[in-house]
Amino acid sequence: MKSTRLSFHSRTRAFTLVEMLIVVTIISMLAALTMGGYTFAMRSSKRRLTTGTFEAIKLALERYNTEFGEYPQPSGSNQLVQFPPGLATYDTSGAACLYQALTGDGFDQIKGVTGTSSAGGGSGGASDGKVEGIAEVKNKMFVEIPQTIFTRKGSTYILIDGFGHPFQYIKAASSTVATGANNAPNTPTPTTINTTYDLWSYSEDEMNTTKQSINALTDPTLSVKWIKNW
């Protein structure tokens, strides 16, 4: 009888372990599906926010062009900064120019703008995070600027997409900026795809963040994930 009871209890314990393994497997599968769905939903939400901000920037740039007769041009280039989560490197020069040109906060990131006749800001034309005062509203193209679309990186304020990364912006080069032989205008090497400006967000792409818009002409696969104006 003792032998029979031991055998019965042994079979019961074995069945319980199998059952637990099945339950754990099902829970793991459900967790994986839930996390996958959550990741997809978060990515979609960030892309929607990016698209909305993207369209607002385009409208504001057209207002700027109407007001001043040209699109703003970044004062510098290749201002490379690392951003989380993967610490990929991004150029913030275009995003800094956009912030100042469309909010009126500062002017040192906009090429050709000097003094307070076009914009205000802190010392030396740097942005101070405020858009108050007469000097700072002359080129204020955004009626409102929510905290979610700009941030401060170091001492510079920049416009960011839904992923927390800087928007990319390059103004097209003029075809008459230089004169060659026989006073013929030189044709500069193109730096943009559009004849006005290129604007884009790398979106969830953290592999090609040092690539420029012009690189997408020779390799269109680079910009598959980007949100762009070409």
CA 131 – CA 106 distance, rounded (Å): 9
Q: Is residue 90 part of a domain?
A: yes
Distance (Å, rounded) from C-alpha 93 to C-alpha 223?
Answer: 20
**Residue 115 domain-assigned?**
yes
CA neighbor of 161 nearest in space, from 212, 102, 202: 202
Among 161, 92, 97, 104, smallest CA distance to 129 is for 104
Cα(74)–Cα(164) distance, rounded to whole angstroms?
20
Of the pLDDT bands very low, low, confident and very high (cuts 50, 70, 90), residue 37 is low
Q: Are residues 213 and 228 in contact, defined by beta-carbon separation less than 8 angstroms?
A: yes
| Residue pointed to by tokens 């699109």 | 71
Q: Residue 185's pLDDT band (boundaries 50, 70, 90)?
A: low
* pLDDT tens for each residue of 56-70: 999 999 999 999 999
Asked if residue 170 lies in contact with residue 212, where contact means CB atoms within 8 angstroms, the answer is yes
pLDDT higher than 60, residue 5: no
pLDDT score for 121 = 60
- Rounded CA gap, 53 and 200, in Å? 11
Overall number of domains in the chain: 1
The domain of 56 spans 45-228
pLDDT in tens, 11-24: 555 557 667 677 77
Whether residue 216 lies inside any domain: the answer is yes
pLDDT of residue 221: 95
78: nearest Cα among 91, 65, 95: 91
Residue-wise pLDDT tens digits, 122-168: 667 888 887 665 444 466 777 667 788 999 998 899 999 999 999 99
8 is a domain residue: no
- Residue 4 domain-assigned (yes or no): no
Amino acid at 19: E
**Could you tell me if residue 26 is inside a domain?**
no
- Is the pTM higher than 0.85? The answer reads no
pLDDT tens track for 102-117: 998 889 999 988 765 4
- Residue 105, strand partner residues: 120
- Please report which confidence band the pLDDT of residue 39 belongs to, taking 50, 70 and 90 as the band edges: confident
Is 156 within a domain? yes
Does residue 25 sit within a domain?
Answer: no
